[in-house]
Structure 1
């Protein structure tokens, strides 16, 4: 209705202006040219408005058609990919509902979450994704997806993590993976010197063994190469979750790496560390050689 009102107003203004202009230029009041000119110009103004409106509508239709074509192509790719198309449909429908019914703050948050998800998908598509700080949700979600093996290192950087709420959720996810899917989980608690093998660390190691995790303590100074170790977790030999410390030895960022060369390097590093440790934690920190067993006579 407002658009029609403005069309009538513009048309009337154009016709009135034409009539006034022809009246000024031609003082003969009986000349029908004034009426013809005003009608023609007014009609032209109305036609121009409809042409402009038609052009805008056509442009919107063309844009919408391109969007539909792009969406159709995208969903056809999704249907043929390993991603579940129903989950993508849920995402689109949920976002559409937020746009239609959500308030400003809800829409702003949805935009931010969608942008974060898009960034993660783009990163995974290229083999590497990252986020600031330590992403516990990634850690737990990937553990829920693991099917065969989980090999992890744990240094002093994340030692306080094991007394936190996310750690309990993480361990619960690992227990479920062990019981329900038969996942084999190995964890190395890495320290620099034997003095860092505290009773608390031994208790932590034993607690994880009770959960079905094969846990060991690795003392770097007792290893021939004394390697430098970062916190990383290898899932199914295909994806690596890594954290790196800042200047205060707190997790500064989280990386998901899936490049084959990087994964192979991490697998080799973990295998070397694991081979250099002993299953018994009491022997992990003991730099003295094992005593020579006593020979007893057989009966």
Structure 2
């Protein structure tokens, strides 16, 4: 923060504390404490929250300057029908249009879903919609667990991870009921490099969905 922004923040906090009603004071205190926790955690290049934090997702998309690589499992797909989906899409569109950010999205689907014609029709429509916004899209079918190598690739593919500028990862850890319960931010160079390599390996062997009108 600039000195002016820091001064403005302190003065605003003081003013709210003196004049605001109790609920506003409590909210301001909670927001300040949350920011302090995040910044303290980031001194160690990582931070996490025990919930699905779409605010981080949108804010990081607004901060990206070069690339956004996202792995989207079946956990992530229902998100696109929520109220947060449009602000996220708006942020991606602005990143591509204003800052020339390249976005790649790798969808992960299950074998049972691939064999379901109704699901595939909806899924390919989603892929076409994403490509209509200039997002590069591919998908992989989540294979059955077999060899240790396949188990490792399966574990990597079932996590929803977004990599920003190849320098920072945002990971959503699902619970057993396929709901996001923890959001983790990681800027440790070695771990991020590993995530970048994993994404590129998955992407290189993924399938590009057919264009609308082509046989699937």
Q: 2:115 aligns with which of 189, 195, 208?
A: 195
Report the Cα distance in structure 2 between the residues aligned to 1:251 and 1:220, rounded to whole angstroms.
19
Cα pair 1:128 1:258 within 8 Å, conserved: yes
Partner in structure 2 of residue 85 of structure 1: 3
The answer to whether the 8 Å contact 2:110/2:143 transfers is yes
Relative to total residues, which structure has the larger strand share, 1 or 2?
Answer: 2
Post-superposition shift, 1:90? 2.3
Distance in 2 separating the partners of 1:189 and 1:278: 10
Bigger RCO of structures 1 and 2 (CA < 8 A, at least 6 apart): 2
Verify: 1:175 aligned to 2:93, yes or no: yes
Task: State the partner residue of 1:256.
Answer: 185
Q: 1:281 to 1:188 in 2, by over 3 A?
A: farther
Aligned residues: 201
Which of the two has higher C-alpha Rg? 1
Q: Match for 2:170 among 223, 241, 258?
A: 241
Match of 1:213 in 2: 135
Give the alignment partner of residue 130 of structure 1, picking from 39, 48, 64.
48
Structure 1, unaligned stretches of length 5 or more?
Answer: 1-82, 287-299
CA root-mean-square deviation: 2.0
d(CA) in 2 for partners of 1:187, 1:115 = 34
Which stretches of structure 1, 4 residues or longer, exceed 6 Å deviation after superposition? none
Q: Does 1:94 align with 2:21?
A: no
TM-score (norm 1): 0.63
CA contact under 8 A between 2:137 and 2:209: conserved in structure 1? no
Structure with the largest fraction of helix: 1
Unpaired runs of at least 5, structure 2: none
Structure 1 CA distance, aligned partners of 2:165 and 2:137? 18
Contact conserved, 1:129 with 1:257, CA < 8 A, in 2? yes
Mapped to 2, the partners of 1:94 and 1:167 lie a distance apart of 31
Pick aligned residue for 1:227 from 147, 154, 158: 154
